Chains A and B, each alone.
Chain A
Amino acid sequence: GEDVEQSLFLSVREGDSSVINCTYTDSSSTYLYWYKQEPGAGLQLLTYIFSNMDMKQDQRLTVLLNKKDKHLSLRIADTQTGDSAIYFCAEILKDDKIIFGKGTRLHILP
């Protein structure tokens, strides 16, 4: 069935790069998304990648997609304390169904 997996926790030192990984099972994905959840707040769209792309860069964010391995990653360069949040990976299938991962909690170390 359809599933999106993420590791639950990641700790990174301030100033280092954070890499959050996600794997998905359904190869019919059209778009893949990264959302950010700050404490007590709803999801906010961070970035997305179309399924026929390999990479997308947006300021400090780089998304890499390996479609063969069904692996998606989000790299945050120069991680700041404001990046501390939960990051959700999501895929949208051809029928518009959206599948979420359980979220990766990013903790910033001083």
Chain B
Amino acid sequence: GAVVSQHPSWVICKSGTSVKIECRSLDFQATTMFWYRQFPKQSLMLMATSNEGSKATYEQGVEKDKFLINHASLTLSTLTVTSAHPEDSSFYICSALFGLGGPTEETQYFGPGTRLLVL
């Protein structure tokens, strides 16, 4: 089946630094990837939709200058948390859309997630 990887799986950084998280579709091409955030004991929240070759679409309340998304190729999307603060500590999960029959046939494959801790 379709596989999505994320790197790193764990990152600890100092407040004020920037952190880049990679999301890769390993055996398929994905024009659309999604970035989610999971707060402790809470559900996933969609942050943004990443489209290859165009600007990401951010959900309401998500700062696009804070969470930079780059989808430079059909197999890679990156999320950069800029000037990270402790409140950015969270679990970040990406997913990639895959399907051969058009939008109504696509499903999402999830990465394993990246846990970010900002000190």
Partners in one complex: yes
Binding site for B on A (CB under 8 A): 30-31, 33, 35, 37, 39-45, 48, 86, 88, 90, 92, 96-98, 100, 102-103, 105
User: What A residues does B110 contact at CB under 8 A?
Assistant: 100
Contacts of B46 in A (CB 8 A): 42-44
Q: Are B49 and A96 in contact (CB under 8 A)?
A: no
Question: Taking CB as reference atom, which chain A residue is nearest B103?
Answer: A39
* Cα–Cα, bound, A97→B95 (Å): 15
* Given A40-B97, A42-B49, A43-B46; 17 other pairs, CB 8 A cutoff: A33-B43, A39-B104, A40-B32, A42-B34, A43-B36, A43-B44, A43-B95, A43-B108, A44-B46, A86-B108, A88-B108, A98-B44, A98-B93, A98-B113, A100-B110, A102-B107, A105-B107
Chain B binding surface SS class: strand
CB-CB < 8 A to B113: which residues of A? Answer: 97-98
CB distance from B112 to the nearest CB of A (A): 9
Show the binding face of B for A, using Cβ within 8 Å: 32, 34, 36, 38, 40-41, 43-46, 49, 91, 93, 95, 97, 103-104, 106-108, 110, 113
Question: What B residues does A100 contact at CB under 8 A?
Answer: 110
Collect the chain A residues with CB atoms within 8 Å of residue B95's CB: 42-43
A30 to chain B: which residues have CB within 8 Å? 41
Q: State which of B41, B93, B103 has its C-beta within 8 Å of the C-beta of A40.
A: B103
Pairwise interchain contact B106-A40, C-beta atoms closer than 8 A: yes
Contact A103 B43 (CB under 8 A): no
Partner of B108, one of A31, A48, A103: A103
Interchain CB contact under 8 A, A103 and B107 = yes
